[in-house]
Amino acid sequence: MDEFSVLISIYYKESPLYFREALDSVFAQTLQPAEIVLVKDGPLTPELDAVIEEYSTRYPIFKIVTNETNLGLGLALAKGLSACSYEYVARMDTDDLIAPTRFEKEIRKLDEGYDVVGCLSTMFENDISRPLATRARPETHEDIIKLAKERTPLCHAATVFRKSVVLMAGNYQHCFQFEDYHLWVRMILCGAKFYNIQEVLYYVRVSIGTIDRRGGWKYMVNENKAMYYFYKIGFYSFSDLVRNVVIRSCVRMMPVKFRSRILHWSWYRQDRNRKR
């Protein structure tokens, strides 16, 4: 099954330049999508609308879903997924880049019977040839489930999945900043089968703003709510809940520069362990 959809959500704060580069990397793939479902999550800037007009004219495979107001990523992706025409769906963010063989290699794994397939991801700030670090991800289903007891086990935007299985698990839901983790846990409980390709096929654009958004009171509260939900539905044990709340809350409330050091150390450790 080679026909698949690419699911993207965009809102007004995105960079037109980065969005253009992301789309170029999609259209440079060895396996091309049959459609791109693009969710406009609220009114966009004229510059972003111009990019969408240019690319949808050049590549007439876009299906545009328009939200009159900004719904947030979870609800935007839920609407977008419902609009996807194909069983296989690939996620993509508007400011990242992908290796030319990403879709081909991940789709082949879905053909083997997996329900969700991810890959390793490399983080970069300005120059993709000067990466900051590569985030290791467990390969096997069993190890992915094990990691999910601590944190999200996949790079969300780097995944492909079966639409029917996502819908069976309840589709994307609103869980501010944790939409992906929320979805993976529900899919695990529904019996979905996971796999991570042990190859860098996705490049995540990061900045000091990325680190800043991963902390503070609001972020901590939302994270704790998500983890309590995992406990309520039976995925976390009580000890899982306590351990994760204590450790993560301490990190989230640190000043940005200290949180940045911890995050970079974590990336470095994952990268070093992967290369052993």
Quickly state the pLDDT bin for 250 (edges 50, 70, 90): confident
8: pLDDT strictly greater than 80: yes
pLDDT in tens, 69-82: 999 999 999 999 99
Question: Of 130-134, 143-147, 201-205, where does mean pLDDT reach its minimum?
Answer: 130-134
Query: CA-CA distance, 107 to 4, in Å (whole number)?
Result: 9
Mean pLDDT of 178-200: 98
Give 87's DSSP letter: S
Quickly state the pLDDT bin for 133 (edges 50, 70, 90): confident
**Sign, Cα dihedral of 87, 93, 94, 100:** negative
Between 129 and 8, the higher pLDDT residue: 8
256: pLDDT strictly greater than 70: no
- Reported for 213-216, long-range contacts at CB under 8 A and 24+ positions apart, including other chains, are 213/177, 214/252, 214/259, 214/263, 215/251, 215/252, 215/253, 215/254, 215/256, 215/259, 216/252, 216/253
Mean pLDDT of 183-210: 92
Please provide the average confidence, as pLDDT, over all residues in the chain.
92
Mean pLDDT of 147-175: 97
Residue found by looking up tokens 């190859």 in the block: 199
209: pLDDT strictly greater than 80: no
CATH superfamily of 4-206: Spore Coat Polysaccharide Biosynthesis Protein SpsA; Chain A (3.90.550.10)
The whole-number pLDDT of residue 169 equals 98
Quickly state the pLDDT bin for 258 (edges 50, 70, 90): low
Quickly state the pLDDT bin for 126 (edges 50, 70, 90): confident
CA 220 centroid distance within chain: 19
Show me where the domains of the chain are located.
Answer: 4-206
The whole-number pLDDT of residue 254 equals 72
Between 101 and 258, the higher pLDDT residue: 101
Query: CA-CA distance, 48 to 71, in Å (whole number)?
Result: 18
Query: CA-CA distance, 182 to 191, in Å (whole number)?
Result: 15
Q: Are 188 and 145 in contact (CB under 8 A)?
A: yes
Mean pLDDT of 102-115: 98
Between 217 and 58, the higher pLDDT residue: 58
Query: CA-CA distance, 40 to 261, in Å (whole number)?
Result: 35
The whole-number pLDDT of residue 153 equals 97
Q: Are 105 and 30 in contact (CB under 8 A)?
A: no
Query: CA-CA distance, 154 to 204, in Å (whole number)?
Result: 13
Give 274's DSSP letter: H
**Closest to 2 (Cα-Cα) out of 78, 160, 118, 111:** 111
Q: Give CA angle at 174 (230, 190), nearest 5°.
A: 45
The whole-number pLDDT of residue 260 equals 61
The whole-number pLDDT of residue 104 equals 98
For every residue of 107-128, which 3-state class applies, written as one string?
A: HHHHHCCCCEEEEEEEEECCCC
270: pLDDT strictly greater than 60: no
264: pLDDT strictly greater than 80: no
Mean pLDDT of 195-207: 94
The whole-number pLDDT of residue 207 equals 74
The whole-number pLDDT of residue 265 equals 53
Tokens of residue 139, six digits:
């390969």
Q: Measure Cα distances from 119 to 6, 13, 203, 275 in Å.
A: 16, 27, 10, 15
The whole-number pLDDT of residue 90 equals 98
CB neighbour list of residue 218: distance below 8 Å, 6 or more residues apart: none
Length of the chain counted residue by residue: 276
22: pLDDT strictly greater than 60: yes
What SS3 state is found at 236? Answer: coil
Concatenated DSSP letters of 204-230: EE--HHHHHHT-SHHHHHHHHHHHHHH
Quickly state the pLDDT bin for 272 (edges 50, 70, 90): low
